[in-house]
């Protein structure tokens, strides 16, 4: 369940950085809203009956109130292509608070707003409410797309850093897959300096490779060299490109402090 920009404004929340998904914001109303998809499966949703043009559902916790909807019935339209691609079907579109004199005051307010903006032509045709303008707007979908791109980059960088940290501990070749790329990393000492070799195979994507090479602190793009042949570390397979660079001492120290989960990568024995 993602909140729209309008919802964030109504709740007095600001945009977090792109690495933080909006649906994970720690606001009581947003946390509560995450249960709606499961509640729908269980048949436990509370509809907003006064809104007639599409299905809207109540979200209540403490004094907070909200209106949520599932846009999967309309996401085949070009406008919502980004939402469909990322399976963002549930959206929190309006929020407010319960007033002390009425338990349902918020829902009366949104009903009045939805009735007021019905065009004269639609009103004559029998339409009673219009909530189209509440649906996710372009800025909401652009934010969603940016979050996905950010997670993509962070995932690749984290994978490369953890592979380096793992290989620094034992000098072996470690492999993992990120963004469809098979990544192999090995760190070996040579003449008192530590050398890093990073190999990428599979569908070769220059953008992904650029992200990989930009993942290592203290090593700039110009520090990497392409290795066309075996370099005692990683023998290039067909379709694989191997890059190598010297790891600065400060980067070596930083890598040794990286926490490593178990079972997420494969080791290649010598």
| Domain annotation covers residue 35 | yes
Give the H or E element holding residue 253.
helix 249-256
Least confident of 46-55, 153-162, 255-264: 255-264
Whether 102 and 166 share a structural domain: no
Whether 184 and 114 share a structural domain: no
Print the domain residue range for 52.
2-136
| Domain annotation covers residue 210 | yes
Read off the pLDDT of residues 182-231 as tens digits, 9 standing for 90 and up.
788 888 777 555 666 676 665 567 788 888 888 888 988 888 888 766 55
If 0-12 CB within 10 Å is exposed, 13-18 middle and 19+ buried, where does residue 109 land? Answer: middle
Whether 255 and 171 share a structural domain: yes
Strands 193-202 vs 266-268: parallel, antiparallel or unpaired: unpaired
Read off the pLDDT of residues 25-83 as tens digits, 9 standing for 90 and up.
999 999 999 999 999 999 999 999 999 999 999 999 999 999 999 999 999 999 999 99
**Residue after which a domain boundary falls, among 92, 107, 136:** 136
Domains: count for the chain: 2
Whether 232 has a pLDDT exceeding 80, the answer reads no
Whether 236 has a pLDDT exceeding 90, the answer reads no
What is the per-residue pLDDT for 41?
A: 92
| pLDDT mean over 120-125 | 92
If phi over 0 gives left and psi between -120 and 50 gives alpha, with beta otherwise, what is residue 214? alpha
């Amino acid at each position: 369940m993602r909140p729209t920009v309008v919802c964030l404004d109504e709740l007095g929340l600001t945009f977090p950085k792109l690495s933080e998904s909006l649906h994970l914001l720690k606001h009581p109303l947003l946390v509560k809203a995450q249960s709606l998809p499961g509640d729908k499966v269980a048949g436990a949703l509370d509809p907003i009956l006064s809104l007639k043009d599409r299905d809207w559902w109540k979200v209540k916790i403490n004094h907070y109130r909200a209106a949520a909807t599932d846009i999967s019935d309309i996401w085949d339209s070009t406008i919502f292509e980004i939402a469909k691609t990322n399976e963002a079907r549930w959206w929190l579109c309006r929020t407010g608070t319960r007033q002390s004199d009425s338990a349902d005051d918020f829902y009366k307010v949104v009903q009045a707003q939805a009735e007021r903006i019905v065009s004269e032509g639609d009103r004559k045709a029998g339409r009673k409410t219009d909530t189209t303008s509440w649906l996710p707007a372009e800025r909401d979908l652009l934010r969603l797309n940016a979050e996905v791109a950010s997670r993509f980059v962070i995932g690749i960088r984290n994978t490369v850093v953890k592979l380096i940290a793992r290989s620094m501990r034992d000098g072996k070749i470690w492999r993992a897959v990120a963004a469809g790329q098979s990544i192999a990393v090995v760190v070996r000492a040579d003449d008192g300096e530590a050398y890093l070799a990073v190999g990428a195979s599979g569908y070769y994507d220059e953008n992904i490779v650029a992200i990989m090479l930009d993942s290592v602190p203290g090593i700039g793009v110009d520090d990497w060299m392409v290795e066309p042949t075996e370099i005692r570390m990683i023998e290039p397979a067909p379709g694989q490109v191997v890059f190598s660079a010297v790891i600065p001492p400060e980067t070596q120290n930083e890598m040794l402090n990286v926490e490593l989960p178990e079972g997420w990568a494969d080791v290649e024995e010598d």
